[in-house]
Amino acid sequence: MNIQRPKPIRLQKLEAILPRINPTHPKYAEMEKELAQRIRGYIGEKQVDYHLETLSHKAIILPGVNLQNNGRNFEMDHFLATPHAVYIIDTKNFVGTITFDTVYKQLIRDDGEKETGYRYPVTQVQTQKLKLQQWLHRHGLQDVPIHCFIAVSEPSTIIKVKGDDSSIKNIVAHGEYIPHMILEKERQLQHSSQRFIPHKKLTQLIINHNKEPDVDILNRFDIKSQDIRPGVRCPHCDWLGMERIFNNWQCPKCKVTSQYAHKAALRDFFLLIQPWITNKIGRYWLGVSSKSVITRLFKQEKFIYNSNRQIWTQQRRGGSLC
């Protein structure tokens, strides 16, 4: 089984917005830096997914779960459920040497040039466990055993411990080794108790409540909607402003043609601007003067037309265990 990890909304939005913003915008460098960090984070999580796939015959695996506890979102990078327990795994993407200081509860990263302190991942993952426990309790599932691990995604990262070594080695490992730790825990649980948890029902409940919070990226980076440049982007050279010629898009710069380049532009629109579009806005956004071309493209995309409001929206997609 391949774990299909969706790209986080915040990452999608950053990818969509940067090519549409003038590089002289005061927040451009900050956005670029965050985008690079989030791409690294996403790749690291996918690397850990790859290792966890070896457990797919034993566990139900969910990538990137977001739940709400007391009105606040909490996120788990990886969630696994077996008939014996639930596992949450937090992925860390540090390179160089990382030291877990168990006395002062801090993480120190040494990249070879300087030392930097970070939030203590053990406390972070224990807080996630507590929140999940409370969440399950509120949904009528008491006493579900929850175990947590920290996966270091980069195989070359050196892990060191200052203080109590054993408390770290039981929960922290390189991604590749995490499945072995889970299997070992499963063996212990199988021997210690015969009690089973309703892991399928529990996972379905989580799928039903899993909702990634939306982020208002324009507000966060102080971007006005008029700062965002419209247009269809060339898939070959990234030029913004492909032209509609007959039934194709053509790049005025590199002359490449594409039949489907508008799809990405429309995806950007819904991500960045608003969840609905009119024919007039569509013409502005895609740089097309013909009303009927826009109607045809919206129909091809299977957008839903609301004749009262004269707006088009995307179809909703749901998620299920089966």
Residue closer to Zn ion by CB (options 174, 253) is 253
Amino acid letter, 66: N
State in angstroms the smallest separation of the CB of 262 from Zn ion: 15
Q: Which stretch binds Zn ion (CB under 5 A): 32-40, 105-113, 141-149, 227-235?
A: 227-235
Residue closer to Zn ion by CB (options 256, 264) is 256
266 touches 301 (CB < 8 A)? yes
Is 240 a residue that touches Zn ion (CB under 5 A)? no
Residue 125 CA to its chain's centroid (Å): 18
Q: Residue 282: CA atoms inside 13 Å, Cβ hemisphere, count?
A: 25
Classify 241 in phi/psi space as left (phi over 0), alpha (psi -120 to 50) or beta: left
State in angstroms the smallest separation of the CB of 246 from Zn ion: 18
Q: Token pair of 105, please?
A: 């509860």
- Using CB under 5 A, pick the residue from 28, 239, 270, 276 that binds Zn ion: 239
Count of positions on this chain that bind Zn ion (CB under 5 A): 8
Is 254 a residue that touches Zn ion (CB under 5 A)? yes
Q: Which stretch binds Zn ion (CB under 5 A): 67-75, 121-129, 198-206, 251-259?
A: 251-259
The DSSP secondary structure of 95-142, one letter per residue, reads: -SEEEEETTTTEEEEE-SS-EEEE--HHHHHHHHHHHHHHHHHHTT--
- Using CB under 5 A, pick the residue from 65, 89, 205, 234 that binds Zn ion: 234
Is 236 a residue that touches Zn ion (CB under 5 A)? yes
Q: Kindly list the residues in this chain that would bind Zn ion in the complex (CB under 5 A).
A: 234, 236-237, 239, 251, 253-254, 256
